[in-house]
Amino acid sequence: MSAPLIRVLVVDDSAFMRGVLPTKIEADPRFKVVGIAANGREAIDKTIALKPDVVTLDIDMPVMNGIDALKEIVRVSTASVIMVSARTEQGAAITLEALAIGAVDFIPKSNGVERIHDKLLAAVEAKSHRTRALAARPAGVVRPSGPPRPTAGARLSAKICIIGSSTGGPQALQTVLSQLPENLPVPVVVAQHMPPNFTKALAQRLNDTCKPRVVEAEDGLQLVKGTVYISPGGMQTRVTATELKVTADQGESLYKPSVDVLAESARAAFGKNILGVMLTGMGADGAAEFTKLRKLGGYNISQDQASCVVYGMPRSLVEAGGSDEALPLDQIGMRIRTALGANLN
C-alpha cells in the first residue's frame, strides 16, 4: 500500500503565489494541496476544517496577518507551519518571531521555493514528532565501544565548542545558549542552516536574550572565550587556532554554512580538544566530521529524539557511532557548562 498523500494548505494574499505554490508542491506526487486561503482568518478556518498536515503561511496579508494567524493555528491544530513571505528577506526578525511562536521553518519567496519539498517533509516529521511525543523514548546515553571514554558528566579539556543545527535550530539554540554563563571559558561556533541576512538577525536576537556575547561571524575575527559566533548564511565558516575564516562556498557542501566544513577545520586546528554538540535538524550534515572527531578523542553530545523538532542530524550522528551521549534539549546547556568547567554564577 502506498503512503498517504501529505496534505498541504497554501495561504498567501498574492494571487500569483496562490497559483505558483500549489503547482510547485504537487509536482511531487507525495503531496496534495487540499485548500487555498488568501488571508489569516481564512487560514484559521480552513486549517480547522481541512486538517492539513502542513500550512504554508504568508506574513503580510489583509484581514489578519500571518503572525496573528500563526498564534491561533498552533493553538487549535497539530499542523506544522512553514512561513513563506517576501517580507522574510527584509524582516528577518519577524521570521524569527514566527519560529519562536511555533512555526517549524520558513522559505523566502524570492529563492526558497525550489527547496519547498524538503521543507515540507521536515515539517511532516515535526508534526509526527508532536503527535507521538508523549510515547517517545529518550535516546539515552550512547554506549560507545573501543577505548575508555570520559564518563557522562565529566569535565573535558576542550578548547572550543562547535554546534550544528538546522530545522528547529533557532529555538534549540535559544534554549541551550540561555543556560550558558557570560564567562564561558572557550569560544563557541555555531553552524545553523539559514539563508543570508537571517543569521545576523538570529545573532542579534540571541545576544539580546542570552548571557554570552553572541555575534555573527566575520572573516578574520579573533576567537575569544565566552563569545558565541553564528556562521553567516550563504557562506562557509572555518576556524584556525586563533581566528575565524569566512569564505564563499566553493562547492564544499549543499549546506551554507555546513557543519561538516566547520568541524573539519576545528579538528585540524584543535585536534581532540573539541566539544561537539549536534542539535535538531533534517539530513546528515556534520555526522561524518563529528564522528572523525570522536575517533580522535573529542567528545560529542547529541540532542535526543524526544526533544528534537526533526531527528535527522542527531540520528545520523548516533547511527554513525559519533555521539558520546544523547540528552534532552533542556539539559544540553548545563552539560556544556559542566563539560567545560564553567561556574554557575
Q: Is 193 a catalytic residue?
A: yes
Which of the residues 166, 231, 316, 323 is marked catalytic? 166
Judge whether 80 and 54 are in contact, CB under 8 Å.
Answer: yes
Cell of 46: 480552513
Cell of 55: 500550512
Q: Is 307 a catalytic residue?
A: no
Long-range contacts of 326-330 (CB under 8 A, 24+ apart): 326/138, 326/139, 326/140, 326/141, 326/142, 326/301, 326/302, 327/301, 327/302, 327/303, 328/138, 328/303, 328/304, 329/172, 329/175, 329/176, 329/279, 329/280, 329/303, 329/304, 330/175
What number of CA atoms fall less than 13 Å from residue 175's CA on the CB side? 18
Nearest to 273 by CA among 150, 144, 140: 150
Which of the residues 285, 304, 307, 323 is marked catalytic? 285
Cα distance between residue 162 and residue 343, in whole Å: 20
Q: Is 166 a catalytic residue?
A: yes
Which of the residues 53, 193, 258, 324 is marked catalytic? 193
Residues recognised as catalytic: 166, 193, 285
